Amino acid sequence: MFEPPTQLVDWCCALEAVDAERNIARAYHIYASQDLFGHVIVALRWGRIGRTHSSITVSFSNEVAARKFIEHTLGKRASAPRRIGIAYNLVND
C-alpha cells in the first residue's frame, strides 16, 4: 500500500496504471497543502492519461482528518489489481 509522508503540507503523489494490451491508461494525483487559515486542503485529480481529468478539492480543519482521507484514498488505489486488473505505480516527477 502507498504511504503518505509524516508531514502533509506541500505534499503530492502521482500514480499511474498502464496496460497497453488491455487499453488501460489511468492517472491519479493527490495534492495536499495548507491555506491561510491553517486548514489542510487535499486536491484529487483522476482520469484517463491524455484526456481531461476530473477533480475534487476537500478542506479539513486538522491534519489528522486529512491524513485519514488520504490513507482511505490510497487504500482504494491499492485495490486496483482486483478492480481493474493492473496496479497503480508511483510516478517520479
Residue 28: closest CA among 41, 42, 47: 47
For 29-47, how does the pLDDT look when each residue is reduced to its tens digit (9 = 90+)? 999 999 999 999 999 999 9
Q: Between 3 and 8, whose confidence is greater?
A: 8
Find the helix or strand (DSSP H, E) in which 33 lies: strand 24-34
Task: Give the number of other CB atoms < 10 A from CB of residue 75.
Answer: 11
pTM: 0.86
Q: If pLDDT is split at 50, 70 and 90, which confidence band does 92 have?
A: confident
Q: Sign of the CA dihedral 3, 80, 11, 30?
A: negative
Domains of the chain: 11-90 (2.20.140)
- Selection from 88, 32, 29 nearest residue 65 by Cα: 32
pLDDT tens profile 48-84: 999 999 999 999 999 999 999 999 999 999 999 998 9
